[in-house]
Amino acid sequence: MTNTIQDLFAHNRAWAAEMIKQRPGFFTNLTQQQTPKYMWIGCSDSRVPANQITGLEPGEVFVHRNIANIVVHTDLNALSTIQYAVDVLHVQDVIVCGHYGCGGVLAALNNTRVGLADNWIRHIQDVRDKHHSMLMQLDASKRSDALVELNAIEQVINVCHSNVMQDAWQSGHAIAVHGWVYGVHDGLLKDLLISVSKNQHLTDIYQSAVRKVFSQRQV
């Protein structure tokens, strides 16, 4: 169904009225404070809404999204959002979530030009090139999903290496970083089995997660 801009306002009024009817005081409570336990770093893809797929209410997850859920150390937007989540909101878990069928990953895998975003997608191509030999050992039909998972794993490591997380762990802040993938085809989240709560054994955890990406796809 095609919606107009005015339809969106109508949908909003209907939603707000229904929330007030079902949960009196809901919006008043939201104005009091923002205390989410989780931070979500996800893709901008419109099919991957953090709150809905995790069953969380407004105010329960702090969200940062960009093309292909990338975190790089030159992106002050992402790093500032992470810093606010960790130091101000005191979230307990940071989730980096990719999704199968990601357009950015597909463009990186196939060297597809999309315009200005090519510069951003270059970060995924770096991940592709890093794991090129292993990716080429997979059937061509499996490489896209594998790169989606590898990209999420690499971004988890980038978050862990940020000065925000390093300082948080050094100060004793109990916070963990996780790598997940969402299946647009079935609506389910997949744990990539990379969860980091301190600097120790980071390399071992990373290498184990990468090995699983390939071992589960080998014939």
Active site residues: 43, 45, 47, 99, 102
* Closest to 62 measured CA to CA, from 82, 42, 39: 39
In degrees, rounded to 5, the angle at the alpha carbon of residue 50 between the alpha carbons of residues 196 and 65 is 75
Dihedral pair phi/psi, residue 146, rounded to 5° = -65, -45
Q: What's the CA gap between 123 and 70, in Å, rounded? A: 8
**18: CB partners within 8 A, 6+ apart:** none
3-class DSSP assignment, residue 199: coil
